[in-house]
Amino acid sequence: MIKAILFDLGDTLIYERVDDITSLDKMTLHLRPHAAEILERLSPLFKIGLVSDTNLSPESSVRFALRKLGVEEFFSAVVTSTDLGITKPNPNIFLEALRRLDVRAQEAVMVGNDPVRDISGAMQVGMITVLFRPTKYYRPGSEKYANYFVDSLSEIPHVVQNLV
């Protein structure tokens, strides 16, 4: 039974921004189409987490940025590489998110755009994975690395409903 959905941030829920000079809370960020709607739709049914590789932005900065975007309330856990000192695909970053959400890997879905960092890392710990394709990281054939793939965030609820 699926109890949690974890998302990547950059180029999945928002259009990618690199925080190597300025933290995310000081940048102008834009949600991808359908991001707010699916978070609102899924949050009453599942615990929602975020696993993000950041350069300068700790959890507090990411949460502030999410608050400015109007979606922070949906996240029960936000895990950043800045706080942990490790980056995806290191399994420990996913395990920390699962620990904070109090779910086992097989009870969680990871949605991300990078077949290596997001998908392979989550698969290493036993999570179900969904590859979000319309980004610069997509390469034809990348679907073989994920359990599922989508071309729009609006497809996520349908994929998850099939897993419950």
Parse the chain into domains and list their residue ranges: 4-163
Q: Kindly tell me if the per-residue pLDDT of 75 is higher than 90.
A: yes
Count the helices and strands in the chain (H runs, E runs): 6, 6
* DSSP letters spanning 82-138: HHHT--TT-HHHHHHHHHHHT--GGGEEEEES-IIIIIIHHHHTT-EEEEE-SSTT-
pLDDT band at 140 (very low <50, low <70, confident <90, very high): confident
Give domain 4-163's CATH number out of 3.40.50.1000, 3.40.50.300, 3.30.420.40, 3.40.50.2300: 3.40.50.1000
| pTM recorded for the entire structure | 0.95
